[in-house]
Amino acid sequence: MDQSVRELPTGTWPAGLTRVPYWVYRDPEVLRDEQARVFEGPAWHYLCLEIDVPEPGAYRTTMMGAMPVVVARAVNGEIVAFENRCAHRGALICLDDSGSAKDFHCVYHAWRYDLRGNLKSVAFRHGVNGKGGMPDDFQMSEHGPRKLRVTVQSGLVFGTLADDTPSFEDYVGPEVMARFRRVLHKKLEVIGRFTQPLPCNWKLYMENVRDTYHASLLHMFFTTFKITRLSFGGGVMVGDNGIAHASTTKGPPEGQDNSYAGMRADNDEFQLKDPSFMRSVAEFNDDINLQILSIFPGFVLQQIHNALAVRQIVPRGVDKMDLNWTYLGFADDTPELRAMRLKQGNLAGPAGFVSMEDGAVGGFVQRGIAAADQETSVIEMGGVDAETSETRATEASVRGFWKAWRAQMDV
């Protein structure tokens, strides 16, 4: 174990996966250790889309926890990534979200880096008029930002700093990889982006994503218009190591009308003024209407009917985070399907008909546990293990998250 990373107070952690002490969401030292053990440790992190860097010189900036990262397309066409930090005095190398460049210059003292993050020149390296400058034995090859291992999976770019991170396929597991590829099966296009600030610890949002039964209780849109029930088919898939999960919701049982015409609230006062955005078309050769997939620590893939998106969790402090949304379509979408995706984008997000409550409930928890460091949450729904289940009335995938977190944090 890295001796620079302090040991957590494991004596205060109950055995098993059904209790989580609330101090883990509030302790600044935990956040610091997560950066070292998780975000800079042996995990794969979503960085950007492959199409974000379409040709040599194209770049996009992103985050791995608190660490800023540059993703670029090198001269030979390879996608590379490196820490967005000048080796001289620590300033950002790249200031823009995206763009195209022949190389990168730090604005502070003009140290220059190539597209791979290699230091290529130092201003006034040999001084001025024979005076000053860097020492004669200064070697540019020994100075530069940290480089990431990169993998491209179904059009998405993931990176890791750790040499011992398993292959992406082994990290995720074959079952969830099949669900990953099920959605991302064609060339992608970006149809929208935004960032949603949330007033909670990043782990609370990932727990929410993996909580497969809160939707019919928290999200009043579902219950008001009787759109989905836990009795519908589906379930939750959890990898053996807890790293990845995929929850699915199938269409209604055979013979049950699930068109909007059959979805009326008990009070007819509540009806959709424009029900057209609830229409959808089958495009994945199965009967899955909704799939939410996550990969530890901070990646989420969404398919809600025809609304596709990736979400990236970025911690911004012990009690705040950013959620980066990228809405997706396929390059061969018909105009009608693209219009449907854009309209269905109103289902999820900070003002989404379905999920706007998700942006608030993490803050409710953060406020509720302000004086509860000695208390624990209860995650016993569906048992005590982190295993695949044929029902969504379970917290198995939440327990899977904590199984993965505790393994990487050595708790």
Whether residue 131 is contained in a domain is answered as: yes
What is the DSSP pairing of strand 244-250 with strand 288-295? antiparallel
Domain extent at residue 144:
45-151
Q: Are residues 97 and 244 in the same domain?
A: no
Regarding whether 242 and 94 lie in a shared domain, the answer is no
**Residue 204 and residue 120 share a domain:** no
Burial 171-203 (b: 16+ CB within 10 A, else e): bbbebbbebbebbbeeebbebeeeebebbbbbb
82: phi then psi, degrees, rounded to nearest 5: -155, 160
For residues 136 and 180, state if they share a domain. Answer: no
User: Is residue 142 domain-shared with residue 180, that is, in the same domain?
Assistant: no
CATH number at residue 342: 3.90.380.10
User: Do 313 and 196 meet the contact criterion of CB atoms below 8 Å apart?
Assistant: no
> Would you tell me the crossing angle of helices 396-409 and 202-210 to the nearest 10 degrees?
140
- Mind listing the pLDDT tens digit for each residue in 18-45? 999 999 999 999 999 999 999 999 999 9
On whether residue 29 sits in a domain, the answer given is: no
Maximum mean pLDDT: which of 212-226, 245-259, 388-402:
388-402
One domain, residues 302 and 379 = yes
| pLDDT, mean over the chain | 90
Q: Which amino acid is at 318?
A: V
Does any domain span residue 261? yes
Asked whether residue 323 falls in the same domain as residue 208, the answer is: yes
**Distance between CA atoms of residues 234 and 311, nearest Å:** 22
- Let me know if residue 399 belongs to a domain: yes
Residue 12: inside a domain: no
Q: Tell me the pLDDT tens digit for each residue of 356-386.
A: 888 899 999 999 999 999 899 999 999 999 9
Residues 186 and 264 in one domain: yes
pTM above 0.85, yes or no: yes
Q: Domain total for the chain?
A: 2
d(Cα 124, Cα 64) in Å, to the nearest integer? 33
Let me know if residue 199 belongs to a domain.
Answer: yes
Write the DSSP symbol of residue 42: S
Domain boundary among 85, 117, 151: 151
Residue 335 lies inside a defined structural domain of this protein: yes
141 & 181 share domain: no
Q: Taking the mean position of all CA atoms in its chain, how far away is CA 387?
A: 22
Assigned domain for 160 exists: no
Nearest to 329 by CA among 184, 192, 191: 191
- Bond preceding residue 297 cis, omega within 30 of 0: yes
Say yes or no: 109 and 203 in one domain: no
Q: What is the CATH number of the domain that holds 49?
A: 2.102.10.10
| pLDDT at 265 > cutoff 90 | no
Kindly state whether residues 51 and 144 are assigned to the same domain.
Answer: yes
**Do 209 and 300 meet the contact criterion of CB atoms below 8 Å apart?**
yes
